[in-house]
Amino acid sequence: MKRLPLALALFLLGAVGQQAWSGTFVPDVPSLGYSPQNMDRSVDPRQDFYRYAAGNWLRNTEIAPSDPDVGGFTLLAHELDRQLLTLIQQAAAANGAPKGSPQQQVGDYYKAAMDDARRDARGLQPLAAELQRVAAARGTPAEFGTLSGLLQDGYGGSPLINAFAMPDAKDSSTYVLVLVPGAQMLEQDEYAKPEAQRLREIYRQYMVALLNGSGDSVDAAGNHAARILALEARMAAAMMTPLQMREPANTYNMMTLAQAQALVPALDLRAFLKAQGIAAPARVQVVDIQAMKALQRLLTERPAEDVKLLLRWTVLASRASVLGRPYSTLEEEFSRLRQGLKTSPARERVVTQQIGAQLYHPLSQLYVQANFPEATRREITEMVGHIKDEFASRLRSNTWLDDATRKAALEKLGKIDIQVGYPGRWVDFSTLEIRPDDHFGNVQRATRFAFQRDIGQIGKPVLGNRFAVATKTTPISVNSAYNFTTNTIDITAAILQPPFYKPGADVASNYCAIGAVIGHEITHGFDSLGRQYDPQGNLRNWWSADADRRFKQRTDVLVDQYNRYEILPGLMHNGAMTVTENTADLGGITLAHAALRRYLAKNPAPTVDGLSADQRCFVAWTQMWAFKARSERLRFLVSIDVHAIASVRAVAPLLHLDAFHEAFGIQPGDPMWRDPKQRVVIW
The pLDDT-based confidence of 18 (bands split at 50, 70, 90) is low
Question: Which helix (H) or strand (E) element contains residue 40?
Answer: none
Dihedral through CA 644, CA 182, CA 127, CA 323, nearest 10?
A: -10
Residue 668: HSE in the Cβ half-sphere, 13 Å Cα cutoff: 4
> How many C-beta neighbours within 10 Å does residue 94 have?
12
Each residue's pLDDT tens digit, 332-391: 999 999 999 999 989 999 999 999 999 999 999 999 999 999 999 999 999 999 999 999
- Across 41-67, b (16+ Cβ under 10 Å) vs e yields eebebbeebbbbbbbbbbeebebbebb
Region 11-31: mean pLDDT is 54
pLDDT of 33 reads 80
CB 53 within 8 A of CB 663: no
DSSP for 85-104? HHHHHHHHH---PPTTSHHH
pLDDT of 22 reads 43
Amino acid symbol at 224: H
Whether the pLDDT of residue 533 is over 70: the answer is yes
Beta-bridge partners for 417 = 488
Gap between the Cα atoms of 6 and 642, Å rounded = 12
Gap between the Cα atoms of 231 and 233, Å rounded = 5
Amino acid symbol at 188: Q
Domain at 6-17+37-60+372-427+465-678: CATH code: 3.40.390.10
Gap between the Cα atoms of 319 and 150, Å rounded = 14
Region 142-153: mean pLDDT is 97
Map out the domains of the chain as residue ranges: 6-17+37-60+372-427+465-678, 124-322
pTM of the model: 0.93
Gap between the Cα atoms of 104 and 13, Å rounded = 34
Residue 425: HSE in the Cβ half-sphere, 13 Å Cα cutoff: 5
Q: How far is CA 346 from CA 66, 349, 391, 627, in A?
A: 9, 5, 44, 23
Gap between the Cα atoms of 170 and 251, Å rounded = 12
CB 150 within 8 A of CB 127: no
Strand order in the sheet with 161-168: 161-168, 171-181, 283-286, 254-256
Each residue's pLDDT tens digit, 148-190: 999 999 999 999 999 999 999 999 999 999 999 988 899 999 9
pLDDT of 98 reads 97
CB 648 within 8 A of CB 581: no
DSSP for 181-249? E---SS-GGGGT-GGGHHHHHHHHHHHHHHHHHTT--HHHHHHHHHHHHHHHHHHHHHSPPHHHHT-HH
CB 207 within 8 A of CB 225: yes
CB 340 within 8 A of CB 202: no
Each residue's pLDDT tens digit, 42-61: 999 999 999 999 999 999 99
- Across 69-79, b (16+ Cβ under 10 Å) vs e yields bbbbbbbbbbb
- Mean pLDDT for the chain overall: 94
Percent of the chain with pLDDT strictly greater than 90: 92
Helical H segments across 6-48, by residue range: 6-11
Percent of the chain with pLDDT strictly greater than 70: 96
> How many C-beta neighbours within 10 Å does residue 336 have?
17
| Three state DSSP letters for 4-40 | CCHHHHHHCCEECCCCCCCCCCCCCCCCCCCCHHHCC
pLDDT of 240 reads 95
* Phi, psi dihedral angles at 494 (to 5 degrees): -65, -30
Gap between the Cα atoms of 62 and 489, Å rounded = 34
CB 65 within 8 A of CB 343: yes
Nearest CA among 86, 126, 121 for reference residue 106: 86
> Rg of the Cα trace of the chain?
25
Gap between the Cα atoms of 215 and 310, Å rounded = 16
> How many C-beta neighbours within 10 Å does residue 633 have?
22
Nearest CA among 240, 245, 236 for reference residue 191: 236
CB 478 within 8 A of CB 80: yes
Region 537-554: mean pLDDT is 97
Whether the pLDDT of residue 30 is over 80: the answer is no
pLDDT of 28 reads 52
DSSP for 340-371? T-SSPPPHHHHHHHHHHHHSHHHHHHHHHHHH
The pLDDT-based confidence of 315 (bands split at 50, 70, 90) is very high
Domain spanning 124-322: CATH 1.10.1380.10: yes
Beta-bridge partners for 628 = 70
CB 477 within 8 A of CB 19: no
Which comes out higher in pLDDT, residue 524 or 9? 524
Amino acid symbol at 288: D
Beta-bridge partners for 480 = 491
The pLDDT-based confidence of 85 (bands split at 50, 70, 90) is very high
Gap between the Cα atoms of 279 and 231, Å rounded = 30
CB 312 within 8 A of CB 204: no
Phi-psi region of 370 (alpha: psi -120 to 50; beta: other; left: phi over 0): alpha
Gap between the Cα atoms of 363 and 366, Å rounded = 5
Whether the pLDDT of residue 426 is over 70: the answer is yes
The pLDDT-based confidence of 600 (bands split at 50, 70, 90) is very high
DSSP for 289-334? HHHHHHHHHHHHHS-HHHHHHHHHHHHHHHHGGGS-TTHHHHHHHH
CB 641 within 8 A of CB 68: no
